[in-house]
């Protein structure tokens, strides 16, 4: 027998998470559900483990808040790199270093982190360069 398990995403992921939370007699607002979904969608293979960890953390508390999600749910390397870049761009080095240290403590390779930062800066540079070089072309076609 062959069984195909497709990755949950979008509405099906939200529905799965909502059903899991309700079965554990907890509640979550729509905005927090969307936030939780965005945090979990990148690490789909660990959804049940992350949800169990969140529920266990709540204890007797019945409502899941954004702060609970931020404290408990493991961030994917992509999310962490984007947060790190945000802090670097606004020159908030304290928070950038905190995120970097968290990533290293989670076992991420320093070269992988650096290459992802470089890749994102390269993409931003290329977008800036293309927009400067081709803005006249776009304006003339409109």
Determine the Cα–Cα distance for residues 2 and 14; give it in Å rounded to an integer: 26
pLDDT tens-place string over residues 13-40: 889 899 999 999 999 999 999 988 887 7
What's the CATH class of domain 10-72? mainly alpha
> What is the reported pLDDT for 55?
93
In the chain, domain spans: 10-72, 77-141
If phi > 0 it is left, if psi is from -120 to 50 it is alpha, else beta; for residue 107 that is left
Predicted TM-score (pTM) of the model is 0.59
> CB within 8 A of 24, min separation 6: which ones?
55
pLDDT tens-place string over residues 49-89: 889 999 999 999 999 999 998 888 877 777 788 888 989 88
């Amino acid at each position: 027998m062959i069984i195909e398990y497709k990755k949950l995403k979008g509405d099906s992921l939200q529905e799965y998470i909502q059903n899991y939370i309700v079965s554990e007699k907890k509640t979550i607002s729509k905005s927090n559900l969307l936030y939780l979904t965005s945090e979990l969608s990148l690490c789909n293979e660990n959804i049940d483990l992350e949800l169990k960890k969140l529920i266990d953390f709540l204890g007797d508390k019945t409502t899941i808040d954004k702060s609970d999600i931020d404290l408990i749910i493991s961030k994917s390397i992509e999310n962490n790199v984007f947060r790190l870049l945000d802090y670097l761009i606004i020159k908030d080095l304290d928070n950038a270093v905190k995120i970097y240290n968290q990533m290293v403590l989670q076992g991420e390779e320093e070269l992988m982190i650096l290459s992802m930062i470089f890749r994102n800066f390269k993409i931003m540079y290329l977008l800036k360069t293309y927009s400067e070089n081709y803005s006249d072309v776009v304006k003339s076609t409109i």
